[in-house]
Amino acid sequence: MSSSTAEGNASTATPPPHEVENCRGVLRVYSDGSIWRSEKPSFEMAVQDDGSVLWKDVVFDAKHGLQLRLYKPAKPSSSKLPIFYYIHGGGFCIGSRTWPNCQNYCFKLASQLQAVIISPDYRLAPENRLPAAIEDGYLALKWLQAEAAAREEPDAWLTDVADFSRVFVSGDSAGGNIAHNLAVRLGVDSPELAPVRVRGYVYLAPFFGGTVRTKFEAEGPKDAFLNIELIDRFWRLSIPEGENCDDPIVNPFGPKSPNLESMDLSPILVIVGGSDLLRDRAEEYASQLKKWGKKIEYVEFEVQQHGFFTINPDSQPAQHLMLIINKFIQHYSL
């Protein structure tokens, strides 16, 4: 081979793929479109399973291989317990019901709320962009409806203790966004899920967005646990192709979003940390819905970062949050 031919081949050789997106070291997207996911979670912590809460996994969507994790107190305080969904966060791109931070928080929820906890997985982006995660959240509720209506071979592990007329749907970050979209889809008391009745929704630092930055997104701490670069990265990887952050799934008040003022919605509790860059959007959401006469409560935890309740579930703010959630459940279970 002549030197000129060798040089020509070298100049036309395809360069190796390089990393273009990295989400907390557990998701990497490369220039050729390939994706790498770590088998380890981004949160390294021990699972705190002391046997006081029983749990098991169940497939709720065989087509997509999706499972949910059920939890219940080993010694429940009453014969029938409310059901509390906890939908994990991760910017629609990372996270799992199996991650220790998620599992430890569900142990706390089951024990301190004296409730059956349902923690579903959902398809993640960028392999599965929105609205896939929203649809999976809906299917996790339809699964519960099927269990509640089962006449043949009901799952006694669940049905013996669960009160299907007292269901609450919560979500953390991206999970909070899913909870919002479910609240809008199902309306007050979720009639299409009968005999399941959703009494209320709890948004834990809901992951909302928009094409225009809020003041705190623009001026908030650059070293925030959920910083603006990561927020932008999550949206780039998860919003529907051809859309932007004013998509109705992302922005509840976007130009194409449904008119929430005219909708009948179940009661909503919105929680956010005072140092969370998502704070302004959560506050605007609660303020606007309150102005429209909706049953909505807003609680802001001063100086707390995004995800403070799962990062340190034994902290005083996290314990206070548990009392607020418990009060919300008790109030709307009547």
The Cα 84–Cα 18 span in angstroms is: 42
Name the catalytic one among 88, 119, 266, 306. 306
232 classed as catalytic: no
Q: Which residues contact 259 (CB under 8 A, 6 or more apart)?
A: none
306 classed as catalytic: yes
276 classed as catalytic: yes
Written as six digits, the tokens of 176 are: 């909070």
The Cα 75–Cα 325 span in angstroms is: 21
The β-bridge relationship of strands 81-87 and 116-120 is parallel
Name the catalytic one among 170, 173, 190, 275. 173
The β-bridge relationship of strands 53-61 and 66-73 is antiparallel
Location of structure tokens 């070293």 = 223
The Cα 47–Cα 102 span in angstroms is: 9
Write phi, then psi, for 39 (nearest 5 degrees).
Answer: -80, -10
Q: Which residues contact 99 (CB under 8 A, 6 or more apart)?
A: 41, 42, 43, 88
CB atoms within 10 A of CB 65: 9
Name the catalytic one among 136, 172, 276, 280. 276
The β-bridge relationship of strands 116-120 and 27-30 is unpaired
What residues act catalytically?
173, 276, 306
